[in-house]
Chains A and B, each alone.
Chain A
Amino acid sequence: MVKTRLATGDMADLSFFNTGSLYLTLNPAKNFVDLSAEPYMSKVIDSFKAVASVGGKVYAAPAGSIMGGGWYYNKAIYAKLGLKVPKTWSELSANLAKIKAANITPIIASYKDSWTSQLIILADYYNVQVKNPKFADDYTAHKATYANTPAALAGFERLADVFKKGYINKDASSTTFDMALKMMVDGKGAHYPMLTFATATMAGDSAANNGLTIWMPAGISIYKGSKNIDAAKKFLAFFESPEGHAIQMAALKPDGPYAVKGITLPKDLFPSTMDMLPYIESGKTAPALEFLSPIKGPNLPQICVQTGLGLKSPLENAKEYDKDVEKQAKQLGLAGW
C-alpha cells in the first residue's frame, strides 16, 4: 500500500513504517525529508539512527518502544513444576521435557498466522551474531547463507526439533495469534515464542554469552511531496519530546524502553519489560537481522511453518530460504547476486 502510494505520488504528510530492511525498500532518500538536523535527533539512540538512515542521513523519527524477541513463559506453571528460568538452550530443552511429562503443552505455536512462526529463528539472531560477528555483512554480500552457516542453521533445527519432540500444541496450524495469547493467559501452554519480552531464553549455548535480540521501533517519516512539511516537523518535535512521550505512556503502558534518551519510564512496568532492561543497559543486545541487512526473504513465515510442522528437513528449509533471499536481493538489484 505505502509503496504504491509513494510510486504514484499520492502519499499522506506523515508515514508510519517499519525501520530496517523494509524501510529501505521505500527508497527513503527519494521519498522522505532529511531529519538529521532536527534538534531532537541528538537524543535519539544511535542504534535507531542506524536502521533509519541512508547514506548517513536520518529519514525517520522513532515511534514506540524497543521490543525484545524471546519466549514468554508461564510463571505459574514454572512455579508448580519447580522449574528455573533457563539461560541456555539445553536448560530450556530440559524444562520442555519436564513440562511435557506433566501433561502440559510445552510450547504454543500459532502457525495459522504464519508470521508468528518466525520468532524462534529471528530471536535466535543474537546467538548467530555472537558466533559469527560478520554474518550480517557476509549475508548481504552473498558470502554466507543460512544453509552453510551452522549457527544460523541452528535456528531452523530448533524450530524442527520442538515439533519432532511433540512439544507444540496439536492444532498448531489452525491456531491464530489471538488464540495463542488466550491459551497463554489461560495457562494452556507453558511458553510462547514472541516479540517483546526477554526472559526465558535468548537461550545461548552458554550462559555467559546470554544476550537479547531486539527489534527497533517503527519510524515516522515526512513525505517530500507534502505541502505541510513545517507543520509535520513541529509535530515530530513534540512527539519526540518528554511531554510527547508522557502522553504516549499515559495512553499505553510501554512494553519496552524508548529509542530516545532522557525519557523516564513509569515504575509499574510489565514484568517482561523489567526482564528486558538489564540486557539493554549492559549492552548485551543485537538488533534482529532484518535491521542489519536489507534482505529478508518474504517467504520466511511460510518456510518457518514448513519447518515447524516437519514438512521438510531443517537443511532443505534453510536452502529454500536462501533461494527466497536470493530472489529478494535480485529484485532489489543488490550487488553480488
Chain B
Amino acid sequence: MNVNVSYAKSYSYWFLLPAALIYGLFFLVPTLASFYFSLTRWTLTESYFTGLDNFIMFFSESSLNIGLVNTVIYAVLTAGLKVVVGFLLAVMLTSELRTKHLLRSIIFFPTLISTIAVGITFSNLFHPTMGAINNLLLQVGIEGPDWLGDVKLALLSVALVDVWKGVGIALVIFIAGILAIPQHYYEALAIDGGNAWHKFSNLTVPLARPALNSVILLAFIGGLRSFDLVWTMTGGGPGFTTDLVASIIYKQYQGGFYGLATAGNVILVILVSALAFPLFRFLSKAEVDL
C-alpha cells in the first residue's frame, strides 16, 4: 500500500509563520544585533565600530572582571546549598512526620515574597549594631559580624539569603520527584533487610535523579544570572566585593556605556552556556531509567 505522505503533513508550514515572525523579531534579531553592538561604542542613536575593545576592557579592568569570579562562586554556592538543603528537607517532609504539611508551607513561603522586599528586610536584619540578628546574638554573648559590611563575608551573606528564599522551589520539585518513586521498590528493600541509609542512598537519590538534575541546572543558571538580591542588599559593595556580572552590566548601562554593557551581556550569555551545557550533558548521562 502506498502511504500518502501529504496525509502525515496535513498542516501547512505556513502555520509556523506567526510564531517564527515573533520569535525572529523579538528574539533572534535583538540577539544578533547585540552581538554587533557589543563591538561598538554605542549612544543608542549612533554607534562607532571599535572591534574587541569592549571585551578587552571587560577582562582587563578589575572593577569589571571581579564579577566573573564572584558570579561563579555565587552560583556554585547557592545551587549547591539549595540542592543539599532542599533534598534533605524533602526526604524529611515526605516521611511520616506529623507537621509536614505545615512545614512545607513555611519553607515554601519565602518564595512568594518579592525579592526586593526580602533584600531590604535582610539588609536591615543584618545591620551590625542595629540589626535584629546581631542583637539576638548579643543576648547569648556573641558579638556578631558585620554581615554585609565585611568584605570576606558579604557575598556569603547574600548567598545565604538567596538560599533561604529559593530553597522552597527546590523542595517542591524534590517532593514531587520522591513521591513519584513507586512504593514497591521500598518494600523490596525492606524485605531484603535494608536500613534507612540504604533506602536513602540506593533508592531515593538515584531514583529522584531527574528531579535532582532539574534543580541543579535551574538553580545554577539562576545563580549565574542573579541580580536583584545583590543589588538591593549591597549594591555590589563594599567597593566591588559583591559585584556580579549582572550588576556590573547594570552599572555600565547607568553610566551610559551601552556598547560596553552589551558586551557584558554577550559575555554573560557565553558564560552561562559554557557552564550550563556541559553540566546538562554530564547530568543527563547520569540519569537511570525507572
Q: Which of A72-80, A133-141, A215-223, A326-334 contacts B (4 or more CB under 8 A)?
A: A326-334
Q: A302-B237, A309-B239, A320-B63 are in contact. Are A331 and B256 (CB under 8 A)?
A: yes
Knowing that A112-B149, A327-B61, A328-B257 are A-B contacts, what are 10 other residue pairs whose CB atoms are under 8 Å apart, sorted by A's residue number? A7-B45, A171-B149, A173-B148, A173-B237, A298-B254, A303-B239, A305-B238, A306-B240, A309-B238, A331-B255
Per-residue CB contact flags for chain B residues 40-74 toward chain A (1 = under 8 Å, else 0) read 01011100100001000100011100000000000
Question: Which residues does chain A contribute within 8 Å of B62, judged by CB atoms?
Answer: 320
Would you mind naming 14 contact pairs between A and B with Cβ atoms under 8 Å apart?
Answer: A7-B44, A7-B45, A112-B149, A114-B235, A171-B146, A174-B126, A174-B148, A174-B149, A298-B251, A298-B255, A299-B251, A303-B63, A330-B53, A333-B48
A47 sits at the interface (CB 8 A): no
A174 near B127 (CB under 8 angstroms)?
Answer: yes
A309 to B255, CA, bound (A): 24
- Tell me which residues across on chain B come within 8 A of A282, comparing CB atoms: none
In the assembled complex, the CB of A193 is this many whole angstroms from the nearest CB of chain B, namely: 17
* Residues of B that sit less than 8 Å from A by CB: 41, 43-45, 48, 53, 57, 61-63, 126-130, 146-151, 235-241, 251, 254-257, 259-260
Quick check: B238 and A25 within 8 Å, CB to CB? no
| CB closest chain-A residue, reference B251 | A298
Known interface pairs A7-B43, A298-B255; A173-B238 also in contact (CB < 8 Å) = yes
Asked if residues A327 and B57 are in contact (CB atoms below 8 Å), the reply is yes
Nearest first, the 10 A-B pairs at minimum CB distance are A173-B149, A7-B44, A306-B239, A298-B255, A174-B149, A173-B238, A171-B128, A331-B257, A305-B239, A305-B238
Nearest chain B residue, comparing its CB with the CB of A312:
B239
**Given the complex of chains A and B, what is the CA–CA distance between A4 and B44 in angstroms?**
8
CB distance from A319 to the nearest CB of B (A): 10
Contact of A111 among B41, B236, B237 (CB under 8 A): B237
> Nearest-CB distance from B228 to chain A (Å)?
18
Assess the A302–B239 pair: CB atoms within 8 A.
yes
Is A253 an interface position by the 8 A CB rule? no
A 212-251 to B, binary, CB cutoff 8 A, 1 in contact else 0: 0000000000000000000000000000000000000000
Bound Cα distance A323, B63 (Å): 10
